[in-house]
Amino acid sequence: MPGVHQHAPGQIAQIAARAHQAGVPAVLLFGIPRDKDERATAAYAEDGVVQNAVRAIKQRAPDLTVITDVCLCEYTSHGHCGMVQRDGEHFTILNDESVQIIAKAAVSHAAAGADIVAPSDMMDGRIGAVRRALDAAGFSETAIMSYAAKFASCFYGPFREAAESPPQFGDRRTYQMDPANGDEALREAELDLEEGADILLVKPALPYLDILWRVRERFARPTAVYHVSGEFAMVKTAAEKRVLDERAAVLEIMTSLKRAGADFIITYWALELMEWLRS
């Protein structure tokens, strides 16, 4: 993915501190563990890659908000966001077993110092389970940003390459949402709020601006939008070919996300944006 790199644990604090100095208010961490297994054990290891990164960043830049992606797909050998039971060509996602591991991962991130945990797996009941687990472990101050409306999208392609997490069989359509079904997104958002979500997230961004608008209008709660890797790659590629002016395109896209109701924008351009907004 152009302009996107995996960072070694030893460098991450320095990079995050530089972003903080540039005015970026928060970072969202994804981990790529050394070893993956069927049960995603590395996802909740106390000295896991994300847990270590959170501690290092908090030491170096205590005021930078640290958000962690909570999912199993980077940690499972099969690349699915939950645990699976396989039967030849068929597989089922083990929802409740997955939710337990996801809650354990969230608690381990909070214990390392994460301010916000962001479950992106789309299992049923995960927000309630994460909230209960956090509270039980004494982390009632840790907030939850829920991927409430996460659609099964082709625009995640570059991320899956970068995160080394493409599913080894099947796809994610059984747990991510149908792009044709906008009402389902609102129902999911409502459930997540009932279960204790503090921030609702819509993803991807531009093809789903109507959903962002509806979620923000309907619930009037803090709403985030995730401008994803494929959306980023489209503009980057066009800019490299001199078809678009990158700065103008990005500023227009970000403006439209704000206009459609985003309180928070997750973007791969955060660093550049801070410079562009100042100049």
* Residues annotated as catalytic (active site), given as ranges: 150, 203
Question: Using CB under 6 A, which of 7, 160, 221, 247 touches ligand PBG?
Answer: 160
With a CB cutoff of 8 Å and minimum separation 6, the contacts of 234 are none
- The residue among 81 and 253 lying less far from Zn ion, judged by its C-beta, is 81
Residue type at 203 in one-letter notation: K
Q: Is 148 in the site for Zn ion (CB under 5 A)?
A: no
Shortest distance, CB of residue 238 to Zn ion, whole angstroms? Answer: 28
- 205 and 261 in contact (C-beta within 8 Å)? no
192: number of Cβ within 10 Å? 26
Question: Using CB under 6 A, which of 44, 75, 139, 156 touches ligand PBG?
Answer: 156
- The residue among 139 and 156 lying less far from ligand PBG, judged by its C-beta, is 156
Q: Is 253 in the site for ligand PBG (CB under 6 A)?
A: no
And the tokens for 5?
């790199």
DSSP secondary structure letter of residue 72: S
- 188 and 218 in contact (C-beta within 8 Å)? no
Shortest distance, CB of residue 114 to Zn ion, whole angstroms? Answer: 17
Give the total of residues touching ligand PBG (CB under 6 A): 11
- 211 and 202 in contact (C-beta within 8 Å)? yes
Q: Is 71 in the site for Zn ion (CB under 5 A)?
A: yes
Question: Using CB under 5 A, which of 27, 50, 81, 93 touches Zn ion?
Answer: 81
Give the total of residues touching Zn ion (CB under 5 A): 3
Q: Is 71 in the site for ligand PBG (CB under 6 A)?
A: yes
CA distance 55 to 67: 12
